[in-house]
Amino acid sequence: MGKILNFGSLNIDRVYRVEHFVRPGETISSRGYQCFPGGKGLNQSIAAARAGAPVFHAGTVGTDGDFLAELLRESGADIRYVRKTDGMTGHALIQVNDEGENCIILYQGTNFDNDTAYMEQVLSDFGTGDILLLQNEISNLSYLLKRGKEKGMRIMLNPSPMDAGLAGEDLSGVSWLMLNETEGCALTGEQEPERIMRALLSRYPEMQVVLTLGGEGAMMGGGEQLLHQPCFRVKTVDTTAAGDTFTGYFAAAVLEGKNAQDALRLAAAAAALAVSEEGAAVSIPVRQQAETLLKKSGY
């Protein structure tokens, strides 16, 4: 059935509960502080692994990051390609407000120690039919996009965090683009979901585009089909890693051969469970929990 290689970030998340996001020139006290494992890469690998997929994580931690690799392993991901260097592991400073919304500042740390020689070494164990799962939190992403395409891997890209470099990138080798409206707007200049979708598909006719719409669920376009997936209603505690959970579960579902609608539904159920708990990686459900929610919802 193939396997998933996720070349992605590993972060330490420093999470502050706040009444409102800090404004320019303002100093505020937080209501609480917690330190969690995170990073879009790590979160997506954990989601895919907890969904039951064979996922291999590659990426670099520093001297303070062993616990991140350990959590990946405990969650069922293969960590043989995770590397350790002398630097400081990447971290994220996250504010979460009473509505469960977040805003994030990243420090790259060792996520930018990934060089192309290391990438080649890892890629040599993967090929046609395998999924290369990527985000934009590590060094040399362009190289991975190019080499993944050359090797005939199926690339699933979550273009987050969006930046000017990625906005100008050739994404023609990407099979699935997993993005939110803000990223869609940055890539196309369009504001409306339908227009974002149309603009991306006319630029990349071979691509499957999955646009997540927060409380409005998600839509997926590609080929002749346009699908909608409402979100499952839950009490929102913390939306951090909701998108990562969705992406990791979607990747696992695609790999196991689910059709697009069923893959979207499973991903949406898992994401809903993730927003009802605090933290990033620690909030990601196991497959059984997602299946139970689907059953309770009549599927």
What positions carry a catalytic annotation? Answer: 244
- Residue 209's SS3 state is strand
Burial tier of 150 (Cβ tally within 10 Å: 0-12, 13-18, 19+): exposed
Cα 17 to Cα 98: distance, rounded to the nearest angstrom: 8
C-alpha Rg value of the chain to the nearest Å = 18
Site membership for ligand RIB, residue 267 (CB under 6 A): no
What is the side-by-side strand order in the sheet with 11-17?
32-38, 11-17, 90-96, 102-107
Q: Nearer to ligand RIB by C-beta: 71 or 263?
A: 71
What is the closest distance, in whole angstroms, from the C-beta atom of residue 12 to ligand RIB in the complex? 8
- Helices and strands per DSSP (H, E), number in the chain: 10, 13
Site membership for ligand RIB, residue 13 (CB under 6 A): yes
Candidate residues 4, 6, 7, 11; the one interacting with ligand RIB per rule CB under 6 A: 11
Candidate residues 50, 244, 274, 285; the one interacting with ligand RIB per rule CB under 6 A: 244
Single-letter amino acid, residue 92? A
Q: In this chain, which stretch among 37-45, 122-130, 188-196, 249-257 interacts with ligand RIB, using CB under 6 A?
A: 37-45
Q: Pairing relation of β-strands 32-38 and 11-17?
A: antiparallel
Q: In this chain, which stretch among 7-15, 19-27, 60-68, 126-134 interacts with ligand RIB, using CB under 6 A?
A: 7-15
The answer to whether 87 touches 79, Cβ cutoff 8 Å, is: no
Q: Which helix (H) or strand (E) holds 121?
A: helix 116-123
Candidate residues 43, 110, 114, 180; the one interacting with ligand RIB per rule CB under 6 A: 43
Neighbouring CB atoms inside 10 A of 54's CB total: 18
Candidate residues 2, 39, 184, 222; the one interacting with ligand RIB per rule CB under 6 A: 39
The answer to whether 158 touches 134, Cβ cutoff 8 Å, is: yes
Closest CA to 18 of 93, 106, 108, 91: 93
Q: In this chain, which stretch among 6-14, 55-63, 69-77, 256-264 interacts with ligand RIB, using CB under 6 A?
A: 6-14
What is the closest distance, in whole angstroms, from the C-beta atom of residue 54 to ligand RIB in the complex? 23
Cα 114 to Cα 111: distance, rounded to the nearest angstrom: 7
What is the closest distance, in whole angstroms, from the C-beta atom of residue 291 to ligand RIB in the complex? 24
Site membership for ligand RIB, residue 137 (CB under 6 A): yes
Neighbouring CB atoms inside 10 A of 63's CB total: 12
Q: Nearer to ligand RIB by C-beta: 40 or 149?
A: 40
What is the closest distance, in whole angstroms, from the C-beta atom of residue 8 to ligand RIB in the complex? 9
Candidate residues 79, 280, 284, 290; the one interacting with ligand RIB per rule CB under 6 A: 280
Cα 66 to Cα 205: distance, rounded to the nearest angstrom: 42
**Across-strand partners of 38?**
11
Residue nearest ligand RIB, Cβ-based? 38
Identify residues 79-108 at the interface with ligand RIB (CB under 6 A).
92, 104
Candidate residues 4, 5, 8, 40; the one interacting with ligand RIB per rule CB under 6 A: 40
What is the closest distance, in whole angstroms, from the C-beta atom of residue 298 to ligand RIB in the complex? 30
What is the closest distance, in whole angstroms, from the C-beta atom of residue 108 to ligand RIB in the complex? 10
Binding site for ligand RIB (CB under 6 A): 9, 11, 13, 38-40, 43, 92, 104, 137, 240-241, 244, 280
